[in-house]
Amino acid sequence: MTSSIAVTGLTGKAPATLKAGVDIKHTYRGDLVIDLVAPDGTTYRMKNASSNDSSANVITTYTVDASSEVAAGTWKLRVQDTYSADTGYIDSWKLTF
């Protein structure tokens, strides 16, 4: 699953404390790998899969050091499900610069 946000009106670099708020509905969140993809394609891993985490849903805010990235452009949230038996979707997400 991938979702995009177009960031406009900002000049300069993204902050070292870029906040990525995610609301992902999923029946077994330990199966999920979550990445933030910068406009230039650089990937920032926010969550690795963990077979010990059987809870549902990922509703949290991650802090990413994106200070080497230009703030403006299309940012993507990429969520990979490492196990095919569960279901889920990206309910919403946001970036706070």
CATH class name, domain 2-85: mainly beta
Q: Write down the pLDDT at residue 68.
A: 97
Q: What residue has token string 């990206």?
A: 90
- Could you read off the pLDDT of 70-81 as tens digits, one per residue? 999 999 999 999
| pLDDT bracket for residue 55 (50, 70, 90) | very high
Q: Write down the pLDDT at residue 63.
A: 98
**Is the per-residue pLDDT at 64 higher than 90?**
yes
pTM confidence score: 0.95
Calculate the average pLDDT of the chain. 96
**Is the per-residue pLDDT at 86 higher than 90?**
no
